[in-house]
Structure 1
């Protein structure tokens, strides 16, 4: 069956700021306290989406979440008018205000795990919204993420949007940032790689948390009704986690038949290769592109986000294109590696660069911003809402972002009650643009 891999990018929210909330995310920690530019951030993201749409890829939009999120603050005992709550929290618990104001839902790679209809037994596309319970500012995202997915992929004949896994540490789930699908053609059955960092049945101690559990991967494979012979559970290397690879997509990316990864990405590298070959037997011959640590250290891979790139099959191109952040070009080691990579005759034939600097300073590259969803022509035709990028939608979103977003946002600005008013005005306008309905956000339902 003919199918295409769509990218649904997260729109950066109006409260985009550098709160330094993500333990293990080195870029986020380095940027803590700096002044951000929400307007620059959202326009960068929209421009990236437009550029991919322009070269013939199916590009979708995921809406930002309501921030600052007053329901969280009210649950924690703060009361009064909205303005009074913001001011009280900023005085008494500024760390909670940072948590309630994070625009981290922009990183749609953490929105959900997605399995296409070609892999599921019931022939539907399956979504499991990530519970993201390892970090407090992201653990509040799943209900709104599920609402967005259910609104965009509303046709139950073709789509199944599950509830998040239980909010228990045994089932910690970080979404598609720990998932890779390989296939001969997007509409054909493929091999799904679900990557975990810790086994909840054993103790784990480390410099940084291992966010994904083996048990969450097992549960997702069951609820998506995947073929066990075509589903592989792999352990991310402890070395990579300790170096700051908080998700597997910081050290690995794949599409089609190609798996592009760092030598130290997996705990059992040779076992990974053997398992992929077994699972792919009779379907396709996998291409392994391994980056040696002698050429690109883990430190360079993580600071440059070489692997947190999009690996794209562009119409008319014989070989894959790697869409990397500008930081990959600016790092001498990764720039030199990319030049060697494309000079050969391997599956990756070109490297292009995208400017997403506002996202990068918070620890998210091009791959963090997108959720991949394989869709057949019938499934694409059944999408709800106005979320597929077109020239008209690009112009509307560009005007929307330039109109509603602040040029600069310092940490102290989170205490300004007017930011809540501005954010809600932006989201009200967005629900009209994207045809999400008048009751999409909690504040619209109050």
Structure 2
């Protein structure tokens, strides 16, 4: 934990106008400063900063507070993250309160993993832009996908050479310990004839760094460019002290401000879906990396918005598999809409082939609330079979049952009764049985 003395030093050093000027163009207005709100699309400045009181007030959104509250609002930092950000800005050394030996070891291990992950990210970027193979193979691949240079740099994409241990050798030479290279999953270590042999997990792959909410590198996804079907298309970092797949959303660091501003989070499946949507100017997009959303991931989104749009490709089997995980989102009180991209497309190609305006218009026109979507999807399969229809109704009711808001439940029951041409009282009775 950060010591009270360090927190006091941060509070003494910070100037609210200096912190906010990193995000908002401020102009002097009497004793105060004024600027356009970073939280709304206003045209007349109503964002006020008081250097005397060391507070800010955004009259367009009703938000306000001190410099730390501003960072927590705009960057969606936790309180400790905001304190550390400001300590770094003002050159204040953070002191930690007394820890047990076990806590010290865990903290040191985590920091070592962060450092080696940051090194690897820089190494992969350097290889992509400056090595002969990186430019010829990795950079060519990204550009063929339609990614522009500024997008490649924004997401810190890279390339790991096809040599067995090139990255590991450089890391060891620079003083990084093999223990942490192995723990992070960057290097794979095996015993051969009593000797430890190490090689690069991601050799010959283009690299996608996975960031925390605050922008630290936690792990990587690596895509092979080989056509050999025996080689896994994607390889991901294993779980570690700093990387837990179920607690991370790909792209959240780059999307969090846009999610809060748009009051909506668009969920896609893969890395390139996220990147292509961001490049098109739609930045409130993250990926669950091919898995159903977990409770921890939903909580990350919930800090920013209560609205989620799940964007599927047109693969029917994939949609049926994916909708099973959406009940978990409903159970958290979130509002869920679903949209399917046109036939033969995925979010990556859809974003690549259409303008921002056309994509947003399509989403607005085609998205449906999840209960309606699930009902229509399953109804298409039952035809006039009463047994299948009964099972379908029950599947829809099971989704309605997890919704915590009783008014929403009642409205969905009425909607479902109309869709399936059933009596509302019958559905309420069935719902009560499910909820027992």
Band of TM-score, shorter chain: under 0.3
By relative contact order (CA 8 Å, sep 6+), the higher-ranking structure is 1
Q: Which has the higher helix share?
A: 2
TM-score (norm 2): 0.27
TM-score (norm 1): 0.26
